[in-house]
Structure formats: C-alpha cells, structure tokens
Amino acid sequence: MDQSTNECSHVGMPDLVSIPMGTEMPGFEELRRFRDHGEPYWWLWAGECPACGQRWLVAQEERVNDVVVMRRLDEPETTRLIDDGIWPDDFDSYERLIRISQQVQRFRFGNPDEQLRDVIDLANARPGISVSDLADLLNLDKAAALTLSKKAVSEHGAQVALSA
C-alpha cells in the first residue's frame, strides 16, 4: 500500500456505513467504480479506494430517502465479483435498500406523483404488493399511495393489491 494509507478515510471506518446524501460523505467521494451491477440493479456498484485499496459494495438510494449505503468487501467476495460476476446479496432488492435507508432518514415528497416510477418498480419486483406496504416504503399517506397504485395498475399494468 502507498504512503497515503494512514490518511485514507476508509481506515477505521465500520464495515457498514449509511450516509445521508447532501452531507459530508467521507469515504464515498474517494471511491473509484470498478464494476456497475447494471439493470435491474441500477442502484448498485462496487468501488475501490485508490489510496488504501479497500473495496466497497455501494448502494445509492437516491429516489426516496437520499442515502448512500456502503459495505466493506472482503477478499473472497471481491474475487467472486471480479472473476465470476457474483454479487453479494446485501442490497439485492430496491425494497430492501429503501428499508435500510429509512433507518437513516425518511423524506416525504411534496408532490407524491413524482413517485409513480417507484410504485411501478416495487410492484414489478414484488407483484401483489399492498398499498399499505407501498405507503410505508415511499413515506406516503395511504390515500396518496392508493391513488398512485391505481394509476400504476391502470396505466402500466403493475400488480398491486388495491384492497386492504
């Protein structure tokens, strides 16, 4: 490792870090992407610190609560990812990532209509998801979640359980 390792912000960081976007994000800014998961996991990538060589699994939950979650990768995980394209399953669903981000902060959009895409994505990932689950995940009141769910069902064929 090079001489800057002792100055690296990754040294001494916990193995799992959740950082609200818009705040100082030590450890995140320095990372260089070495692999994007790609669709349908648009939120997930792997990065490496050029100073210390530490590799991280990074999930950016930027559509609902604006949180970055980073988990330190160990050597076997890194090898499986690079050699075989096998990703750790920590953030393997957008729903799971939203639940993790809610532990850091919750936002409520001024205009819930902006969350139609999220309703559709969550319903496609878990067909038959309930309106109350969508309301909880997207920080919406039930009336707004129901309105968005009806639109997702009628206009986009999403499978949402509209009845309680």
* pLDDT values of the chain reduced to their tens digit, one per residue, 164 residues: 443 445 788 888 889 888 888 787 777 888 999 999 999 899 999 999 998 999 999 999 988 999 999 999 999 999 999 999 999 999 989 999 999 999 988 888 778 888 999 999 999 999 999 999 999 999 999 999 999 999 999 999 999 999 85
pTM score, whole prediction = 0.84
Q: Which residues are bridge partners to 67 per DSSP?
A: 20, 61
For position 137, what pLDDT does the model report? 96
Write out the two tokens for 89.
């399953």
Distance, C-alpha 19 to centroid of its chain: 12
The closest of 95, 52, 54, 99 to 77, measured between CA atoms, is: 54
